[in-house]
Amino acid sequence: MKKISLFLVAATLLFGAGRLPAETVLTVALDGSARFTSVQAAIMAVPQGTRENPVIIRIAPGTYPELLYIQREKRFFKLVGQSPTNTILTYHLYAGITNAEGKPIGTFKTPSTTIDADDFTAENLTFENAAGPVGQALAIRVDGDRASFRNCRFLGWQDTILLNRGRQYFENCDIRGHVDFIFGAATAWFEHCRIRCLGSGYVTAASTPVDQPFGFVFSHCQITGAKPDVKTSLGRPWRIYASTIYLNCEMSAVVRPEAWLDWGKPEAHTTARYAEFNSTGAGAQPARRPDWTRQLTPAEAEKITIQKVLGGADGWNPGPSSPFGANRLEIEYGAAGGQKLLLDAHVPAGAGPFPVVLIVHGGGWMSGDKEADIVPVFAPVATNYTWFTINYRLAPTNRWPACFDDVQTAIRWVKQHAAEYKGDPDRLALLGYSAGGHLVTLAGTRATPDTQVQAVVAFAPPTDLISDNERRGGLSVSMRGLFGFDTTNLTDAVRTVLGGNSPITYLKPGLPPFLIVQGTADKTVPFNQSLAFQQKMQSLVGQCDLIQIPGGQHRIADWTKFDPAWQGELMTWLNARLAAK
């Protein structure tokens, strides 16, 4: 099919798939391969975003030594890195540095990053103040409301994070410091975060206003020390109405038995709101806690939810039910070749069970990442899907069939574990792009009983490796790296290997339905290759549909320019094939 009917597209958009807004996406890379080499320059390039059209700044791996400031007017900005371990935003100011007048600049002029705007989001980044053990030195200051941080690191020493006002949400983050390294007057929820105490000190110093019901809430977090002799307190009151709660947190022996200090303010014994529920580990000693702090009952703890704490007058709920992006990260789905195989998962709001999609990234079998290429175009329109996106072993370090084996391992894992993520394992589709498209089409055509799926979707997939290399005039670099050939010649032996690993070779009746999405001007994988695959499958009484992107080339991020409706068509097709029975 060239186009699915307008009626079906409209119905999909109306009844659940959603419409992908025309997002403003900017890219930053230190090596000059992107429009910007500076994160701040990218921030300044766009005045503001909107809820429907947020500004997304994708930051390539690297260490960016910049002072960053997102001013009040720049709402709906989202900074996205590849991984917090390789995408680092850093600077090194500290309170004792003197200004032009010879006076110390003070704590509040030290943040490496300052977020003054509302509706800010960050993912897969490190925010760092690299000044070291020299006193107050903020990695980040947040004054904006409704700010979310997922899979980020916050590295500092004293006063790492200042949450000055507003509401903030942290999920799956690493936070490191020594003294008062989470402090301020804001309301913030920390979900599944890891708190690392680098020296003896205090985790929090809240200054919660008297009329604010909540300050800092830590849920299912882990507190550890960098060394055996490090000791910390859970909190001390910067202001006497400080509010800090720990729910279901694991506390190592780094936490002092008394856990809470009054900072020499005895009046805080009647005003501070310090509480715990179900703390575990060597640092959980409720009998040793001060009598002016509380151990919550199960009924009291049950009432403290993300919605209750962060909802406010506007009903904000940024928790794991957030509709965009993966919200379960770095899950091990297997191990091979001495390395862990990892995936990320998106679990939607609602009871489920939801249809499931397993995503396999592109990158010529030799590069790529599970959060790249497909996720940015698929996640915003797949809000009612459980989806998983995998990393797999790459060539030339790992020769064929390592990557294909990993895809099959992932399929088995998803079928076994989908229900744990609200997914229906009997409504499973594969989705791959380019090299990932080759892998999913091969998996779909060569399925065994334990790897069978209900649908296969491929974006620009190489499905005939022989014809693809014939048109190139010899064996490509990626094919040599993947299969370990030391020749560019298409010998009989080479052709046997290429044909034996081409999805078109294995077409037969009884396969699940396939959908190919392809740009008609693709020079990397010729459009005619997808046409040939479709025609052969249809001749065998199989279902293979084709969405053409008129004028589209290989880069899927650009396809919306040529056909704004293609995501809707994709979701219409998936919704039909994975409908509940």
**pLDDT tens per residue, range 64-102:** 999 999 999 999 999 999 889 999 999 999 999 999 999
What is the model's pLDDT at position 32?
A: 92
Which residue among the candidates 119, 159, 468, 563 is catalytic per the annotation? 159
25 and 377 in contact (C-beta within 8 Å)? no
pLDDT greater than 50 at residue 4: no
How many angstroms separate the CA atoms of 470 and 367, rounded? Answer: 23
pLDDT greater than 50 at residue 2: no
pLDDT digits (tens, 9 = 90+) for 257-295: 999 999 999 999 999 999 999 999 999 999 999 999 999
pLDDT digits (tens, 9 = 90+) for 454-474: 999 999 999 999 999 999 999
pLDDT digits (tens, 9 = 90+) for 172-212: 999 999 999 999 999 999 999 999 999 999 999 999 999 99
User: What band does 319 get if pLDDT is binned at 50, 70 and 90?
Assistant: low
| Lowest mean per-residue pLDDT among 135-139, 147-151, 211-215, 378-382 | 378-382
DSSP assigned state of 513: P
Which residue among the candidates 180, 344, 468, 563 is catalytic per the annotation? 180
**Lookup result for tokens 């900005």:** 77
Identify the helix (H) or strand (E) that includes residue 380: none
User: What band does 322 get if pLDDT is binned at 50, 70 and 90?
Assistant: very low
How many angstroms separate the CA atoms of 145 and 473, rounded? Answer: 57
What is the model's pLDDT at position 8?
A: 33
pTM comes to 0.59
**Lookup result for tokens 């509940």:** 580
User: Domains of the chain, with CATH numbers?
Assistant: 63-164 (no CATH), 167-313 (2.160.20.10), 330-577 (3.40.50.1820)
Q: Count CB atoms within 10 A of the CB of residue 282.
A: 12
Catalytic annotation present for 405 = no
Q: What is the mean pLDDT of the chain?
A: 92
What is the model's pLDDT at position 578?
A: 97
> 548: phi > 0 → left, psi -120 to 50 → alpha, else beta; which?
beta
Q: 328 versus 72: which is more confidently predicted? A: 72
Nearest to 325 by CA among 562, 569, 56: 56
pLDDT digits (tens, 9 = 90+) for 420-448: 999 999 999 999 999 999 999 999 999 99
Catalytic annotation present for 159 = yes
How many angstroms separate the CA atoms of 176 and 195, rounded? Answer: 6
User: What band does 325 get if pLDDT is binned at 50, 70 and 90?
Assistant: low
In degrees, rounded to 5, the angle at the alpha carbon of residue 386 between the alpha carbons of residues 381 and 389 is: 85
